[in-house]
Structure formats: C-alpha cells, structure tokens
C-alpha cells in the first residue's frame, strides 16, 4: 500500500475535541488532517472549523449498518491513509471496518485490556488500581480489543475524582496519538 507524504488523516470525533486540537496543532511534515467527521453536533466540529478543516456530521439515523456505510462513504471521499478515532463514542461496525479496519486507530483512556468501554476512567477508579494510562490501538470488531500500538502509564493520585484523573490521562493521550502518527510516517508504515 502506498501512503501520501505527509499522511492524510481523517479524524472521528464526538465530544470536546481536545485530542483533535492536539492533532491539529501538531500537523506538519508527518501528517495533515483532511476531514473531521462527527456523529453529532459537538465542540470538536468548531475546532475543525477554526483550523479551516472540512467538518461533516453523519448522525446515527436509521439502521446501524446503513449508518456505518454512510460513515465509511464520508471517510472514503477524503481518501485518508489512516483514520483516527479521537473521542468518537460510537462502536464502528463491519460495514465500516471491512473498508477501514486495518487503518483505523483509536485512543482509549486506560491500559487495555483493562477497562475497555465508555467508562474506562470511572471503572479504573472504582477497581482501585494505582496505575492506569492511555492506549492507542487498531480498531477491530470488539470493544477496545484491537492490536495495541502504544501505551503510556499514569499513576492514580489518592483522592482525585474521575474528571481530574481523566484530564491527566488526556494530557498523555494528546501526545501519544501524535507520536503514533509520527511513527507511522517515519516507518513509511503499512498496516499490512
Ligand atoms: C478521550 O479520553 C478519549 O480516549 C475518550 O474520550 C476522550 C476524548 O476527549 N474516548 P476529547 O473530546 O478529545 O477532549
């Protein structure tokens, strides 16, 4: 597979978009963001707009398979080398993954395989772990189960709440996802 230089990236978002902001701020010789796609109206779209990046919304309407096809069509139209799920809060299904699974990466706020799912920070605190962290992995059909690319630990501070711990993890995530893309670029990486 041949990749563009810099890599062309589509970013999937659902929320505040601070990870997207880090990706925007670190664009350069390694990668550039060619489109941002959300499943709903969210502040991340405004960040894309401020950066002059095309931003589109594909709301989950109708059945899930047809939404996955519409999402994949919207991504494919931007012809990305890689897709980054950066705070995208929907599970990607087979119609999307058949086309992009081998080159879609997700960032998750825990050290997988511990604490998959939408409440990773809350679950880690509830379990009482002393170390959690951030994982960047390829997306497969499971929930946060795909092959791990990179991880960084974050120590849990006694007495901190979910929001405080999540913010400290997100500081790590913001650097880790950028370094993974820079690594893909350096390696001329092929997901094959
Ligand atoms: C990150 O912790 C990401 O791993 C999780 O949602 C958060 C997104 O934060 N899935 P933001 O919207 O980029 O600020």
Structure tokens at 5: 């230089």
Q: Is residue 170 part of a domain?
A: yes
C-alpha closest to that of 51 among 20, 86, 19, 5: 20
Q: Is residue 13 part of a domain?
A: yes
- Residue 190 burial (CB count, 10 A): 11
Pocket probe for ligand 1: among 173, 177, 178, the residue whose CB has the most ligand atoms within 8 Å is 173
Tokens 């299904």, residue? 93
Residue 2's pLDDT is 76
Minimum CA distance residue for ligand 1 atom 5: 87
Q: Is residue 191 part of a domain?
A: no
Q: Write the CATH number for 140.
A: 3.40.50.170
Distance 170 CA to ligand 1 centre (A): 7
Tens of pLDDT along the chain (192 residues)? 678 999 999 999 999 999 999 999 999 999 999 999 999 999 999 999 999 999 999 999 999 999 999 999 999 999 999 999 999 999 999 999 999 988 999 999 999 999 999 999 999 999 999 999 999 999 999 999 999 999 999 999 999 999 999 999 999 999 999 999 999 999 885 555
Name every residue whose Cβ is closer than 8 Å to that of residue 159 and which is 6 or more positions away in sequence.
none
Structure tokens at 40: 């709903």
C-alpha closest to that of 178 among 20, 58, 47: 20
Please check if 20 is assigned to a binding site.
no
Q: pTM to 2 decimals?
A: 0.95
Instruction: Please give the C-alpha separations between residue 100 and each of 25, 93, 145, 149, 168, in angstroms, as whole numbers.
Output: 25, 10, 16, 17, 30
Please check if 90 is assigned to a binding site.
yes
DSSP 156: P
pLDDT tens, residue by residue, 1-52: 678 999 999 999 999 999 999 999 999 999 999 999 999 999 999 999 999 9
Q: What range defines the domain where residue 104 resides?
A: 7-186
Contact 2, 179 (CB under 8 A): no
Q: Is residue 192 part of a domain?
A: no
State the total domains in the chain: 1
Q: Is residue 129 part of a domain?
A: yes
Q: Is residue 34 part of a domain?
A: yes
Structure tokens at 30: 């390694």
Q: Which residues line ligand 1 (CB under 6 A)?
A: 15-20, 44, 86-87, 107-109, 170, 173
């Amino acid at each position: 597979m041949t990749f563009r230089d810099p890599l062309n990236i589509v970013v999937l978002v659902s929320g505040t978009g601070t990870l997207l902001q880090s990706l925007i701020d670190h664009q350069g010789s390694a990668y550039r963001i060619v489109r941002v796609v959300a499943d709903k109206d969210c502040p991340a779209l405004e960040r894309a707009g401020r950066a002059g990046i095309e931003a589109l919304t594909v709301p989950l309407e109708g059945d899930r398979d047809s939404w996955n096809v519409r999402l994949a069509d919207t991504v494919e139209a931007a012809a990305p080398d890689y897709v980054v799920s950066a705070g995208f809060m929907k599970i990607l299904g087979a119609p999307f993954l058949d086309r992009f699974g081998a080159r879609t990466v997700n960032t998750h706020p825990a050290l997988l395989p511990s604490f998959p799912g939408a409440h990773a920070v809350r679950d880690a605190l509830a379990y009482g772990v002393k170390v959690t962290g951030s994982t960047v992995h390829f997306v497969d059909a499971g929930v946060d189960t795909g092959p791990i690319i990179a991880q960084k630990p974050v120590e849990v501070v006694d007495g901190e709440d979910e929001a405080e711990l999540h913010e400290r993890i997100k500081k790590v995530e913001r650097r880790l996802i950028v370094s993974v893309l820079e690594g893909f670029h350096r390696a001329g990486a092929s997901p094959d």
